[in-house]
Amino acid sequence: MSPRIVGNHIGGVNRPARSGRTLDNVAPATGAVVATIPDSSAEDVADAVAAAQSARDVWSGWTTAERADLCDAVADALEARLDELAVLESQDTGKPVSLARRIDIPRSIANFRFFAGAVRHSQTGAHEMADAINYTLRRPLGTVGLITPWNLPLYLLTWKTAPALATGNTVVAKPSEMTPQTAAALADIITEVGGPPGVFNVVHGLGPSAGQALVEHPSVAGISFTGGTQTGAIVGATASRRFAKLSLELGGKNATVVFADADLDEAVAGAARAGFTNQGQVCLCGSRLLVERPIYEDFVTKLAARVEGMVVGDPAGANTELGALISHAHRDKVEGYIQLAQQEGGTLLAGGSRPSLPSPFSGGAFLRPTLIGGLSPACRTATEEIFGPVVTVHPFDTEEEAIQIANGVRYGLAASVWTQDLKRAHRVSTALDTGMVWVNCWLKRDLRVPFGGVKDSGVGREGGAYSLSFYTQDKNVCIQL
């Protein structure tokens, strides 16, 4: 099959980069080129921003209810194409189709429905004085730039797009160059269901060229970025220089903390899910597993058996639990960490090698889920973000020690705590230096709650009212009575 040709979506029309240059989009499960995308430059970004700027008046002229209705229509259209979108997402990322059907696409639909409802019900304040009244107007920022990574492509793009559009902004999105297809589909859908031309634009291409140009563009009033911490530092510095509003959701090295009083089977299942969902490529994945010493051996034996039993392979397989990693280069990086772990004194408890798979997956970027013990919690393997199916496991003796290990990294995105002691759950949750804590669960999502991290995991919060606040600016009007 010849590769699909994906265009930039600018002013409601799909078109190539001005230079005509393209990039190959490779399916990591097979190595096949499935699409080509525009290799956009600053010129293409400028075109997209100009289209977004010229759509601002039209879009902010729609009533809130009209914009909410459009978001609902986008959700309906995504739902009608759920199967097709799940296949595209799997093709681009290598993830199991079943995962995309169960999580990525349904949550993308939910994002549009949720923010349609959120703006319908949003309120602003009034502050009375003896002789005056203040009221708050909430206005869109204008044109916002949304930069998204490859691990949850449509899920994260809709998480930003839905509130941005619902609050009246126009958008220029720059999806990851490795996962362009569902962003292109979203652009077509928004236009098909009646989004005015220029309200939602997509520019494909590389980070340092297309992404950087978007962050630098003086007419882009806000940037919401999800990606690696190193890139986030560049994006943050660039956007701050021109005082753009900024939200950064960056990396994690999240701890799963299991106390001896936890329900063992539930904790094993939870730790396995936290460690290896999406091949371990979720910023929220629990890649450091801390287990209280009395249950350590038992826990590790059970978990290793579960991990060894995970089905790796054909992303379309009904029983597949892990598909391919995002790319061969990324697998090399992850394998480099498995080697490093062994140099640092670690022992492989499960996985550690590539699975042997039949054609067409024999050349895919697959890796068996890997569990490593025997490492110091302070070593590089246990403190640097690997972003792959690799979990290190460490025993601890006291609650204080668990908290100290959990907090001993530069990241602070999320943690999960497994215990049946309610007081301990409260104490530990409070003491953990993270933006989010799950107790006896992992990745349970309510779209109203604040989402984001501390330390090197990012700046700002999105979700519910936090997103509405990020994508708007409040203006106070004071009237003398």
Binding residues vs ligand TXE (CB under 6 A)? 147-151, 174, 176-177, 206-208, 211-212, 215, 226-228, 231, 234-235, 249-251, 283, 385, 387
Catalytic residue among 249, 321, 335, 462: 249
List 177, 283, 321, 462, catalytic entry: 283
DSSP-assigned letter for residue 196: P
Long-range pairs for 244-247 at CB < 8 Å and ≥24 separation? 244/215, 244/220, 245/141, 245/221, 245/470, 245/473, 246/222, 246/459, 246/460, 247/222, 247/223, 247/452, 247/458, 247/459, 247/460, 247/461, 247/462, 247/470
**Nearest residue to ligand TXE on Cβ basis:** 207
Q: How far is the CB of 416 from ligand TXE (least distance, A)?
A: 17
Smallest separation (angstroms) from ligand TXE to the CB of 234: 5
379 given a catalytic annotation: no
Q: Which is nearer to ligand TXE, 227 or 464 (CB)?
A: 227
Q: Under a CB-based contact definition with an 8 Å cutoff, are residues 395 and 386 in contact?
A: no
Could you tell me the sign of the dihedral formed by the alpha carbons of 464, 470, 473, 476, in that order?
positive
Residue 423, CA atoms < 13 Å, CB-side half-sphere: 1
Least distance from ligand TXE to the Cβ atom of residue 100, Å? 16
Measured from the Cβ of residue 82, the count of other Cβ atoms closer than 10 Å reads: 16
User: Least distance (Å) from ligand TXE to the CB of residue 46?
Assistant: 15
- The CB-of-457 to ligand TXE minimum distance in angstroms stands at 8
HSE-up (13 A, CA, CB side) for residue 427: 10
Is 249 among the catalytic positions? yes
Residue 7 φ/ψ, nearest 5 degrees:
-110, 170
Q: How far apart, in Å, are the Cα atoms of 296 and each of 12, 177, 261?
A: 57, 42, 12
Residue 450: CB minimum distance to ligand TXE, A: 16
Nearer CB in complex with ligand TXE: 47/385: 385
DSSP category for residue 205: S
Q: What DSSP state is assigned to residue 462?
A: B
* Type of residue at 442: W
Q: Which residues belong to the active site?
A: 249, 283
